[in-house]
Amino acid sequence: MPELPEVEVVRAGLAPAVTGAVVLGVTVLDDRALTRHAGTGAEFESALTGRTIRAAARRGKFLWLPLEELRGEPAEAVVGHLGMSGQLLLRAPGAAPERHERVRIDLDHPTHGEVSVVFADQRTFGSLAIDELIPTPDGAPGGLGTAEASVPRQVAHIARDPLDPAFSDSAFRRALVRKDSAIKRVLLDQTVVSGVGNIYADESLWAARIHPETRAADLPTRAVNRLLGEVRHVLDKALAEGGTSFDAQYVNVNGQAGYFAHSLNAYGRTGEPCPRCGRPIERVSFTNRSSHFCPRCQRMPRPTGR
């Protein structure tokens, strides 16, 4: 599933093309792409046509496009989640349909002219929806790409991500003290910290020399600070390299793949030597996924408390 870097690459690509653009028309080819939308495909088309997009924002793995407000109506946004294989692509008006195309949104930008945003999704786990914007509890901007202190209602339960200027390191440390579960499980809990999935959790834990099964509450403050620093470093590096692409499903708005897969130190490297100590990387089952770690660099500590 695309994680923060992959989704941020898409958001950054969309922003200049959609901000200030007017929706000329919407074509829903598959209602399965609207599973999070409270209405039919025809209602989605009607509600969005004629609206002006004000920005492209992101929190964790969710994207949203705030819409110009209608008089007497609540503020709204188009919310997107890429799921397992979703893509948001920029295409010239009238371009041939994409393989697995589900929704096409035709825009007219005041500077760039007409362009189409295509939502394609092979496995149909992704979705688009029009959702109400609600105030953020902390009064800070809802996410990256917007200055407005609002967030779509269906995204409100998602925590801020470590690259969000409003992310609270101290709140994260306090949350870990209360967690009896493994640190990797906590990193994947989008209500604690968002945007980190299996790939970047493994990479961050390897960089911080922390075993993925270490009890979160047992991590000393110094280790938590080190982990947060490595999470940010890994995410920043992945962003700079366009994200991680293992197949043609993970691409930017122009259909180009990222190349962070070539920089991975632990994830997907089972049996290969650890870049730090040379010991073979191990893989163990983790829920319905896997964890990759170095048994020498990331030793399981004895519980010590704080």
Q: What is the mean pLDDT of the chain?
A: 92
> C-alpha angle with apex 177: 174 to 183, nearest 5 degrees?
110
Residue spans of alpha helices (H) in the chain = 4-18, 41-48, 169-177, 183-187, 198-208, 221-240
How distant, in Å, are the alpha carbons of 48, 76, 146, 153, 193 from that of 71?
15, 12, 21, 20, 35
* Residue 179 marked in a binding site: yes
Q: What is the pLDDT of residue 260?
A: 63
* Residue 123 marked in a binding site: yes
Residues 6+ apart with CB under 8 A from 71: none
Q: What is the pLDDT of residue 239?
A: 86
Residue 168 structure tokens: 């609270």
Q: What letter would DSSP give residue 269? A: -
More confident residue, 242 or 161: 161
Cα torsion for 222, 4, 129, 172, to the nearest 10°? 0
The set of catalytic residues is 2-3, 61, 289
Q: What is the pLDDT of residue 255?
A: 65
Q: What is the pLDDT of residue 247?
A: 46
CB contact at 8 A, 19 and 53:
yes
Number of other CB atoms surrounding residue 112 within 10 Å: 14
Q: What is the pLDDT of residue 306?
A: 47
Number of other CB atoms surrounding residue 167 within 10 Å: 18
Strand partners, 27: 104
pLDDT exceeds cutoff 70 at 70: yes
> What mean pLDDT comes out for the span 265-271?
94
Residues 6+ apart with CB under 8 A from 53: 18, 19, 20, 21, 22, 23, 65, 66, 67, 68, 78, 107
More confident residue, 240 or 79: 79
Q: What is the pLDDT of residue 259?
A: 46
How far, in Å, CA of 303 to CA of 215, rounded?
A: 8
Q: What is the pLDDT of residue 243?
A: 67
Q: What percent of the chain has pLDDT over 70?
A: 92
Write down all domains in the chain, each with its CATH number in brackets. Answer: 4-155 (3.20.190.10), 169-293 (1.10.8.50)
How far, in Å, CA of 241 to CA of 259, rounded?
A: 6
Q: What is the pLDDT of residue 240?
A: 84
Count of all residues that appear for the chain in the document: 306
pTM of the model: 0.90
Q: What is the pLDDT of residue 2?
A: 79
How far, in Å, CA of 275 to CA of 292, rounded?
A: 13
More confident residue, 252 or 203: 203
Q: What is the pLDDT of residue 55?
A: 98
Q: What is the pLDDT of residue 135?
A: 98
Q: What is the pLDDT of residue 99?
A: 92
Task: Kindly indicate the confidence band of residue 84, based on its pLDDT and cuts at 50, 70 and 90.
Answer: confident
What does the pLDDT look like over 205-261, one tens digit per residue? 999 999 999 999 999 999 999 999 999 999 999 888 876 644 445 566 666 655 466
